[in-house]
Protein backbone atom coordinates (compact mmCIF):
# COMPACT_ATOMS: atom_id res chain seq x y z
CA UNK A 1 0.00 0.00 0.00
CA UNK A 2 2.77 2.42 0.95
CA UNK A 3 4.62 1.52 -2.25
CA UNK A 4 1.50 2.29 -4.30
CA UNK A 5 1.14 5.67 -2.60
CA UNK A 6 4.82 6.36 -3.20
CA UNK A 7 4.47 5.54 -6.91
CA UNK A 8 1.44 7.80 -7.17
CA UNK A 9 3.39 10.61 -5.53
CA UNK A 10 6.27 10.09 -7.97
CA UNK A 11 3.86 10.19 -10.90
CA UNK A 12 2.17 13.32 -9.56
CA UNK A 13 5.51 15.08 -9.23
CA UNK A 14 6.42 14.00 -12.75
CA UNK A 15 3.10 15.39 -13.98
CA UNK A 16 3.62 18.75 -12.24
CA UNK A 17 7.14 18.98 -13.66
CA UNK A 18 5.61 19.32 -17.13
CA UNK A 19 4.92 22.97 -16.32
CA UNK A 20 8.21 23.78 -14.59
CA UNK A 21 9.91 24.92 -17.80
CA UNK A 22 7.56 27.86 -18.47
CA UNK A 23 7.03 26.81 -22.09
CA UNK A 24 3.27 26.48 -21.67
CA UNK A 25 3.22 30.04 -20.29
CA UNK A 26 5.26 31.26 -23.25
CA UNK A 27 2.99 29.44 -25.68
CA UNK A 28 -0.21 30.89 -24.22
CA UNK A 29 1.36 34.34 -24.00
CA UNK A 30 2.39 34.03 -27.64
CA UNK A 31 -1.17 33.01 -28.52
CA UNK A 32 -2.61 36.07 -26.79
CA UNK A 33 -0.03 38.32 -28.45
CA UNK A 34 -0.84 36.75 -31.81
CA UNK A 35 -4.52 37.54 -31.28
CA UNK A 36 -3.47 41.16 -30.85
CA UNK A 37 -1.60 41.03 -34.16
CA UNK A 38 -4.62 39.48 -35.89
CA UNK A 39 -6.87 42.21 -34.42
CA UNK A 40 -4.54 44.80 -35.93
CA UNK A 41 -4.41 43.07 -39.31
CA UNK A 42 -8.22 42.83 -39.32
CA UNK A 43 -8.29 46.63 -39.68
CA UNK A 44 -6.45 46.43 -43.01
CA UNK A 45 -7.80 45.63 -46.48
CA UNK A 46 -6.44 42.09 -46.54
CA UNK A 47 -8.79 39.53 -48.03
CA UNK A 48 -10.42 36.86 -45.91
CA UNK A 49 -8.28 34.17 -47.57
CA UNK A 50 -5.06 36.01 -46.75
CA UNK A 51 -6.19 36.68 -43.18
CA UNK A 52 -7.11 33.03 -42.66
CA UNK A 53 -3.77 31.90 -44.08
CA UNK A 54 -1.83 34.30 -41.84
CA UNK A 55 -3.90 33.33 -38.82
CA UNK A 56 -3.46 29.58 -39.25
CA UNK A 57 0.23 30.00 -40.08
CA UNK A 58 0.73 31.84 -36.80
CA UNK A 59 -0.94 29.04 -34.83
CA UNK A 60 1.15 26.44 -36.65
CA UNK A 61 4.38 28.30 -35.91
CA UNK A 62 3.47 28.63 -32.23
CA UNK A 63 2.78 24.90 -31.99
CA UNK A 64 5.98 24.05 -33.85
CA UNK A 65 8.04 26.34 -31.61
CA UNK A 66 6.49 24.77 -28.50
CA UNK A 67 7.22 21.21 -29.63
CA UNK A 68 10.80 22.05 -30.65
CA UNK A 69 11.44 23.81 -27.35
CA UNK A 70 10.12 20.82 -25.43
CA UNK A 71 12.33 18.50 -27.47
CA UNK A 72 15.57 20.49 -27.34
CA UNK A 73 15.24 22.43 -24.08
CA UNK A 74 13.17 20.37 -21.65
CA UNK A 75 13.81 16.74 -22.59
CA UNK A 76 17.63 16.90 -22.42
CA UNK A 77 17.34 18.30 -18.88
CA UNK A 78 14.59 16.28 -17.18
CA UNK A 79 13.81 13.52 -19.66
CA UNK A 80 10.53 12.57 -21.23
CA UNK A 81 7.70 11.70 -18.88
CA UNK A 82 5.45 8.76 -19.62
CA UNK A 83 2.33 8.33 -17.53
CA UNK A 84 0.08 5.41 -16.76
CA UNK A 85 -2.95 4.75 -18.91
CA UNK A 86 -5.15 5.37 -15.88
CA UNK A 87 -3.83 8.91 -15.36
CA UNK A 88 -4.11 9.77 -19.04
CA UNK A 89 -7.73 8.57 -19.15
CA UNK A 90 -8.54 10.45 -15.94
CA UNK A 91 -7.10 13.71 -17.26
CA UNK A 92 -8.83 13.23 -20.63
CA UNK A 93 -12.21 12.73 -18.97
CA UNK A 94 -11.60 15.73 -16.74
CA UNK A 95 -10.90 17.78 -19.86
CA UNK A 96 -14.13 16.59 -21.49
CA UNK A 97 -16.16 17.43 -18.37
CA UNK A 98 -14.49 20.85 -18.13
CA UNK A 99 -15.21 21.58 -21.81
CA UNK A 100 -18.88 20.60 -21.45
CA UNK A 101 -19.21 22.69 -18.28
CA UNK A 102 -17.60 25.77 -19.82
CA UNK A 103 -19.55 25.66 -23.07
CA UNK A 104 -22.87 24.90 -21.36
CA UNK A 105 -22.42 27.81 -18.96
CA UNK A 106 -21.47 30.10 -21.83
CA UNK A 107 -24.50 29.07 -23.92
CA UNK A 108 -26.92 29.47 -21.01
CA UNK A 109 -25.54 32.92 -20.23
CA UNK A 110 -25.94 34.02 -23.86
CA UNK A 111 -29.53 32.77 -23.89
CA UNK A 112 -30.27 34.55 -20.60
CA UNK A 113 -28.89 37.85 -21.94
CA UNK A 114 -30.91 37.47 -25.13
CA UNK A 115 -34.12 36.90 -23.17
CA UNK A 116 -33.35 39.86 -20.92
CA UNK A 117 -32.83 42.10 -23.94
CA UNK A 118 -36.07 40.99 -25.61
CA UNK A 119 -38.09 41.31 -22.40
CA UNK A 120 -36.78 44.76 -21.54
CA UNK A 121 -37.00 45.96 -25.11
CA UNK A 122 -33.68 47.78 -24.90
CA UNK A 123 -30.01 47.16 -25.35
CA UNK A 124 -28.09 45.70 -22.44
CA UNK A 125 -25.04 47.34 -20.89
CA UNK A 126 -21.92 47.61 -23.09
CA UNK A 127 -20.08 45.73 -20.34
CA UNK A 128 -22.18 42.58 -20.69
CA UNK A 129 -20.38 41.10 -23.69
CA UNK A 130 -16.83 41.83 -22.42
CA UNK A 131 -17.67 40.48 -18.96
CA UNK A 132 -19.30 37.41 -20.51
CA UNK A 133 -16.20 36.82 -22.61
CA UNK A 134 -14.04 37.31 -19.52
CA UNK A 135 -16.04 34.78 -17.52
CA UNK A 136 -15.73 32.34 -20.42
CA UNK A 137 -11.92 32.63 -20.41
CA UNK A 138 -11.78 32.40 -16.62
CA UNK A 139 -13.65 29.11 -16.76
CA UNK A 140 -11.83 27.90 -19.87
CA UNK A 141 -8.45 28.19 -18.17
CA UNK A 142 -9.50 28.15 -14.51
CA UNK A 143 -11.01 24.67 -14.57
CA UNK A 144 -7.89 23.08 -16.17
CA UNK A 145 -5.71 25.07 -13.75
CA UNK A 146 -7.51 23.37 -10.87
CA UNK A 147 -7.51 19.92 -12.46
CA UNK A 148 -3.85 20.06 -13.48
CA UNK A 149 -2.68 21.91 -10.36
CA UNK A 150 -1.13 24.45 -12.75
CA UNK A 151 -1.38 27.56 -10.58
CA UNK A 152 0.13 30.07 -13.01
CA UNK A 153 -2.74 29.24 -15.33
CA UNK A 154 -5.02 31.24 -13.02
CA UNK A 155 -2.96 34.35 -13.80
CA UNK A 156 -3.00 33.50 -17.49
CA UNK A 157 -6.79 33.14 -17.30
CA UNK A 158 -6.99 36.70 -15.96
CA UNK A 159 -4.78 37.96 -18.78
CA UNK A 160 -7.12 36.39 -21.34
CA UNK A 161 -10.22 37.66 -19.53
CA UNK A 162 -9.23 41.29 -18.92
CA UNK A 163 -8.37 42.88 -22.33
CA UNK A 164 -11.93 43.39 -23.56
CA UNK A 165 -13.14 44.48 -20.12
CA UNK A 166 -10.33 47.02 -19.74
CA UNK A 167 -10.90 48.23 -23.30
CA UNK A 168 -14.58 48.82 -22.52
CA UNK A 169 -13.68 50.72 -19.33
CA UNK A 170 -11.33 53.00 -21.28
CA UNK A 171 -13.94 53.58 -23.99
CA UNK A 172 -16.96 54.15 -21.74
CA UNK A 173 -15.34 56.22 -18.99
CA UNK A 174 -12.57 58.13 -20.76
CA UNK A 175 -13.57 57.96 -24.42
CA UNK A 176 -10.32 56.21 -25.35
CA UNK A 177 -10.15 53.17 -27.59
CA UNK A 178 -6.67 52.39 -28.93
CA UNK A 179 -8.00 49.07 -30.20
CA UNK A 180 -8.28 45.49 -29.02
CA UNK A 181 -4.82 44.70 -30.35
CA UNK A 182 -3.16 47.02 -27.81
CA UNK A 183 -4.77 45.44 -24.75
CA UNK A 184 -4.25 41.91 -26.03
CA UNK A 185 -0.61 42.64 -26.84
CA UNK A 186 0.01 44.07 -23.37
CA UNK A 187 -1.64 41.07 -21.70
CA UNK A 188 0.30 38.70 -23.95
CA UNK A 189 3.57 40.46 -23.11
CA UNK A 190 2.85 40.04 -19.39
CA UNK A 191 2.29 36.30 -19.80
CA UNK A 192 5.40 35.97 -21.97
CA UNK A 193 7.42 37.82 -19.33
CA UNK A 194 6.14 35.44 -16.67
CA UNK A 195 6.97 32.43 -18.82
CA UNK A 196 10.45 33.76 -19.64
CA UNK A 197 11.15 34.20 -15.91
CA UNK A 198 10.09 30.63 -15.18
CA UNK A 199 12.14 29.34 -18.13
CA UNK A 200 15.30 31.13 -16.99
CA UNK A 201 14.87 29.72 -13.49
CA UNK A 202 14.36 26.26 -15.00
CA UNK A 203 17.53 26.55 -17.10
CA UNK A 204 19.58 27.58 -14.07
CA UNK A 205 18.24 24.81 -11.84
CA UNK A 206 18.32 22.07 -14.50
CA UNK A 207 21.60 22.03 -16.40
CA UNK A 208 21.97 19.45 -19.14
CA UNK A 209 23.28 16.26 -17.47
CA UNK A 210 26.16 14.29 -18.87
CA UNK A 211 25.30 11.00 -20.57
CA UNK A 212 22.20 9.72 -22.30
CA UNK A 213 18.78 11.22 -21.68
CA UNK A 214 16.62 9.28 -19.27
CA UNK A 215 12.90 8.93 -19.25
CA UNK A 216 11.17 10.18 -16.13
CA UNK A 217 8.09 8.45 -14.83
CA UNK A 218 8.34 5.60 -17.32
CA UNK A 219 6.31 2.66 -16.19
CA UNK A 220 4.78 4.37 -13.15
CA UNK A 221 1.31 3.04 -12.42
CA UNK A 222 -1.49 5.37 -11.33
Segment 187-208 shows an average pLDDT of 93
On whether residue 213 sits in a domain, the answer given is: no
Q: Count of CB atoms within 10 A of residue 154's CB?
A: 13
Q: What pTM was computed for the model?
A: 0.77
The whole-angstrom separation of Cα 45 and Cα 204 is 46
Sign of the C-alpha dihedral computed for residues 50, 187, 193 and 28 taken in this order? negative
The whole-angstrom separation of Cα 135 and Cα 108 is 13
pLDDT of residue 84: 64
pLDDT over 80 (residue 3): no
On whether residue 189 sits in a domain, the answer given is: yes
String of DSSP letters for the chain: -HHHHHHHHHHHHHHHGGGTTSHHHHHHHHHHHHHHHHHHHTTS---HHHHHHHHHHHHHHHHHHHHHHIIIIIHHHH------HHHHHHHHHHHHHHHHHHHHHHHHHHHHHHHHHHHHTSPPPTTHHHHHHHHHHHHHHHHHHHHHT-THHHHHHHHHHHHHHHHHHHHHHH-----HHHHHHHHHHHHHHHHHHHHHHHHHHSPPPSSS---SSTT---
pLDDT over 60 (residue 141): yes
pLDDT of residue 118: 55
Number of domains in the chain: 1
pLDDT of residue 83: 62
pLDDT of residue 74: 87
pLDDT range class, residue 12, cuts 50, 70, 90: low
Provide the mean pLDDT of the chain.
Answer: 78
Beta carbons within 8 Å of 105's beta carbon, 6+ residues apart:
135, 139
Segment 179-207 shows an average pLDDT of 91
pLDDT of residue 60: 94
- Contact between 7 and 221 under an 8 Å Cβ cutoff? The reply is yes
On whether residue 128 sits in a domain, the answer given is: no
CA-to-CA separations, 56 to 44, 59, 66, 140, 189, in angstroms, rounded: 18, 5, 15, 21, 21
Q: Which residue has the higher pLDDT, 7 or 191?
A: 191
On whether residue 131 sits in a domain, the answer given is: no
pLDDT of residue 155: 94
The whole-angstrom separation of Cα 136 and Cα 214 is 40
Which range, of 48-62, 111-125, 145-159, averages the lowest pLDDT? 111-125
> pLDDT digits over 25-83, tens only?
999 999 999 998 988 888 888 888 998 999 999 999 999 999 999 999 888 887 776 66
In this structure, the chain runs to a length of 222
Q: What is the dihedral of CA 106, 113, 157, 70, to 10 degrees?
A: 40
User: Domain of 80?
Assistant: 2-88+150-205
The whole-angstrom separation of Cα 52 and Cα 56 is 6
> pLDDT digits over 82-101, tens only?
666 766 776 677 677 767 76
- The share of the chain scoring above pLDDT 90, in percent, equals 27
- Contact between 195 and 22 under an 8 Å Cβ cutoff? The reply is yes
Which range, of 13-17, 144-148, 187-191, averages the lowest pLDDT? 13-17
Amino acid sequence: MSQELSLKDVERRAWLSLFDDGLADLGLGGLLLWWGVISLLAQTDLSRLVMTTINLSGYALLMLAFRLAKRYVTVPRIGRARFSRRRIIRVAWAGVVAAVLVNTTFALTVVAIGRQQSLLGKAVSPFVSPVLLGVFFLMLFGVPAFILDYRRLYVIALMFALPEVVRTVFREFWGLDPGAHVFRAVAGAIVIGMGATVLLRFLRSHPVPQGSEEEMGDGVSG
